[in-house]
Amino acid sequence: MCGVIGLTYEHDKQDLGQVASRLLRMLEYRGYDSTGGVVQDSQGTITLRKDVGSPTELTVRLGIDQLPGRVFCGQVRWATFGVVNQANAQPHEMRCKIHIYGAHNGNITNCLQLKQWLLGEGHDVKSDNDGEMLIHTVEHFFAQEMQYQDETDHAVREKALKNAVLKAAKKVIGSFAAIVVDPVTELVVAIKAGSSLYIGQGHDPTGGAFIVASSDLASVLQITRILIPIREKEFAVFSPTRFAKYDLKTGKKIRHAVQRSLLKVEETRLQPPFHFFMEQEIHHQVLTARRQISLFTGGNPVTKALRQHEKQLGEVYDKLKEGIRKLADVTDTKDLPARVEAFLQSRPVALLRDLVKETAQDGFETHLDSSYASFLEEMRDLAGKKDYSLVLLLKYLDAIFELEDIHDIEQRVKRFTDMVVKAHQGGHSIYILACGTSYHAGKTAPIFFNEIAGLSLIPLLPGEFRAQCTNALRDGDLVIGISQSGETKDLIDVFNFIIASKKKVGRICILNNTNSTLAIEKSDLFVPLFCGPEIAVPATKSFMNQLLLLYILALQVARRLAKGKDRNPVLQHLARHEANLDRIPELIDRTLKTTQKETDEMASFLFLAPSLHILATRILGIAKEGALKIRETVLNHTEGFEASEFKHGPNTILGINTIFGLDNVRAVLATFGQSMQAAIDSPEGKQLDARGLNRLFQSVADYAFRDQPPRFLSDHEKVLFDRVFADFNFFESMYANYPLIFIACPNETDINLTISQVNTHKIRGAHVFIIAEDNDLLRAAVSVPPANGYAYRHGYVTLPRTDELLLPIFSITTVLQVLALKMSQRKMEFLDRLEIRNHGVHPDVPKNVSKSITVD
């Protein structure tokens, strides 16, 4: 994972280096092996500076932050092709056949073949980096296109550069985004071919018009809110004042439009004190949970005040929303301030001001949450005044959009409830399908619906559904899909099958991206998650919002059933479950504040474990999700299991086994070193010369690790050899107890089962860790070492007390997320210290996975 930036201004900008450095630092989470940048000024002077190190360090040390100019091309690198050194750092500047410079993000999989071809064509290849091969390939075809042409003709050069990109795209194999600059015309090319790329335009007081392209949306939003969408397999050619977009396969020009981003910058930017997006998103779950509960339960005090006056002021609300939407569509940043001022002086706004005076109360929360929150914040900045009356007015405008969302949610929840209750009362099957993290939410959903509504759901993976249920589907059945992105290929395939079957099977999808394929094309109904953007690949807050939404939907179904003829005794506890809903955000917050020390102690012991199991009683989906988080971010083997199932075969891993990690290797090497030192320090050892020591060393290693008997040893050496194996057991030093993490809710049956499992497994060679509310019996079971315990280790993460069956699902989830984060941080730092490159351990961008899976 790397990141690229291309930025071009209309005029020279004295602080270009500072702007560029700030953008590079925003990409640091994408790579910090090396950093570089090219700055070009209006005189054509080109300055390339790059080296090994992070953007935070190098932008200052290399003086990138002090460079003036008007064109910038930068890159941060997370090494894949080529070792980490200055030559492999990007950008790359080429002068073999024609002058260009550029950088890329991604992987060119035919890198070696390209290098051989380029060398054969006479190019001066300076590194092993696939980015250089890509830029060289563009340069090669650019030079071909410019042969016999007027090199000073800008129109000719632009056409040649476009054709060169098309030819290079056919030559390279891989997935990437790239920035290429022609220094003569100062034209910038931005290519999107499998990696993220965002483009924005704006106006700067000193630099004039500008266009920026970046791998990271937050870095674009840092300097402009006006975006130019670019899709997969497209590329753009632009100057500060001119933009054209083309199809990367055909070269056909594509019409483009500009639009204002309504994303909140703080949700896409890493904020202090956090060091990783995963960390930030775990802590933001408190806010996203509160907002989700507010939206699905009628709103906050401001939306409720607006609702009371909706009959008489409904038309005013509509005019205000229309006015805001028209302002948000304005992409001319010079024209916007005057239009904002005119809107604030309009009649509908005056009427809203009157309502604010009438209904506003001390202590109203003024944080903006709606889909137009970012634009309302921009309006506040453009208004040039930040008095409390304006802040309150904007909160009411924000609440008008939230009220619109609430009305939409109420209709969707009602329809969801209708469909579920109809299927349930008709005796039909209700399936819940999902992949990955979403499947673990789906696996937990039946617990909520069973305990709250007395209703059964069937959770399956899409592949399981295809194998087990396609021929058994009946009219009236219901399929509920869960997807963060709304683009999950396996789920789309199942929905396509249901549509093609012509059976009257209901299709509902729970998702975060409401503009996705599953939302727009494949579902009868979708219900939004409202968790906001999630940057880290390991899902945290989207999973928490999925759990919370499923809890809310179970409550809604239970309410409907309680009003009817259903006399299930489960429904008698509905009021308690409803009251518990409001406790969840505060529970997440308390969990984060009170469990850090115990979780950190557990992480410090487990982060190098090559394998571990998370064992659950009842809450299997949470165990599997915790295991996935650790597996994704730590790159070990972690598996979530139903605790009572562990004894049916998987427990063979306890005690002596052959699963070795770095700690085990370190232990055996230490024993080997001790054995050699003991041999050397003995009277016989002191008589050995260098050759004798070498023979002894090699013979011990061959016999210990390859079972090859010693040969050619002298009598003294043979005595030492026998003594080594009499006094030292290399492999015993490698053995360690196997780590088990138990998670349990405060239910008497669950606690007793967990205690039984703990005692069963620790005597067979397990380290035992517990995540649960405080329980004396449980604590005693884990803390007392077994009589035959070999270096027994244990731990207990004490959850905030709820004495409820369902609420600990949310606190346990939080602890497992934090545990995965801490283990990942420790292992990444450890592997970095060992200078193990390309290890792929990273909390935000672990290797081999992406945010949404859109391939088979």
Task: Kindly report, residue by residue over 318-347, the tens digit of the pLDDT.
Answer: 999 999 999 998 887 788 899 999 999 999
Residues 597 and 557 in one domain: no
Predicted confidence (pLDDT) per residue in 405-419, tens digit:
999 999 999 999 999
> 782 in a domain, yes or no?
yes
How many CB atoms within 10 Å of residue 828?
21
Predicted confidence (pLDDT) per residue in 508-521, tens digit:
999 988 878 899 89
Res 258 pLDDT > 60: yes
Give me the numbers of helices (H) and strands (E) for the chain, helices first please. Answer: 31, 25
Residues 76 and 94 in one domain: yes
Lowest-confidence range among 153-157, 331-335, 346-350? 331-335
Residues 543 and 686 in one domain: no
The DSSP-derived string for 503-541 is ---EEEEEES-TTSHIIIII-SEEEE-------SSS-SH
Compare 234 and 704 and report the one with higher pLDDT: 234
Residues 124 and 29 in one domain: yes
Q: What is the mean pLDDT of residues 797-815?
A: 98
Residues 6+ apart with CB under 8 A from 769: 602, 606, 739, 740, 741, 742, 782, 794, 795, 796, 797
Res 134 pLDDT > 90: yes
* pLDDT for 385: 66
Residues 628 and 758 in one domain: yes
Residue that terminates a domain, selected from 733, 756, 774: 733
CA 830-836-837 angle, 5° bins: 125
* Total count of domains within the chain: 5
Residues 51 and 174 in one domain: yes
Q: What is the mean pLDDT of residues 725-737?
A: 85
Answer for the pair 436, 525: CB distance below 8 angstroms, yes or no.
no
> 602 in a domain, yes or no?
yes
> 551 in a domain, yes or no?
yes
For residue 449, give the DSSP letter: I
Res 716 pLDDT > 60: yes
The answer to whether the bond into 786 is cis (omega within 30° of 0) is no
Strands (E), 41-97: 46-52, 69-77, 92-94
Confidence of residue 854 (pLDDT cuts 50, 70, 90): very low
How many CB atoms within 10 Å of residue 165?
22
**% of the chain exceeding 70 in pLDDT:** 98
Residues 653 and 668 in one domain: no
Residues 642 and 722 in one domain: no
* pLDDT for 851: 54
Res 591 pLDDT > 50: yes
**% of the chain exceeding 90 in pLDDT:** 71
Amino acid at 388: Y
For residue 645, give the DSSP letter: G
Amino acid at 194: G
Going from the C-alpha of 762 to that of each of 603, 749, 780, 783, the distances in angstroms are 19, 20, 13, 11
> 410 in a domain, yes or no?
no
Q: Using N-to-C axis directions, what is the helix angle for 662-681 and 690-706, rounded to 10°?
A: 140
* pLDDT for 366: 85
Of 148-152, 196-200, 456-460, where does the model show the most confidence?
A: 456-460
> 286 in a domain, yes or no?
no
Amino acid at 470: T
Q: What is the mean pLDDT of residues 672-676?
A: 89
Q: What is the mean pLDDT of residues 569-595?
A: 95
Best CA proximity match to 766, nearest among 745, 791, 799: 791
Phi, psi at residue 8, to the nearest 5°?
A: -135, 130
Residues 401 and 327 in one domain: yes
C-alpha to C-alpha distance for 573 and 561, rounded to whole angstroms: 13
What residues make up the domain containing 336?
297-405
Residues 610 and 549 in one domain: no
Confidence of residue 789 (pLDDT cuts 50, 70, 90): low
Best CA proximity match to 452, nearest among 351, 320, 578: 578
> 279 in a domain, yes or no?
no
Predicted confidence (pLDDT) per residue in 164-222, tens digit:
999 999 999 998 999 999 999 999 999 999 888 999 999 999 999 999 999 988 889 88
Q: What is the CATH number of the domain that holds 9?
A: 3.60.20.10
Res 162 pLDDT > 60: yes
Predicted confidence (pLDDT) per residue in 763-778, tens digit:
999 999 999 999 999 9
Q: What is the mean pLDDT of residues 664-693?
A: 88
Residues 551 and 649 in one domain: no
Mean pLDDT of the chain: 92
Res 637 pLDDT > 70: yes
Compare 581 and 856 and report the one with higher pLDDT: 581
Best CA proximity match to 485, nearest among 526, 525, 445: 526
> 283 in a domain, yes or no?
no
> 48 in a domain, yes or no?
yes
Strands (E), 313-439: 430-434
Residues 636 and 695 in one domain: no
Q: Residue 147 is encoded by which pair of tokens? A: 């042969």
Res 855 pLDDT > 70: no
Exposure on the CB side of residue 810, measured as CA atoms within 13 A: 33
Q: What is the CATH number of the domain that holds 570?
A: 3.40.50.10490
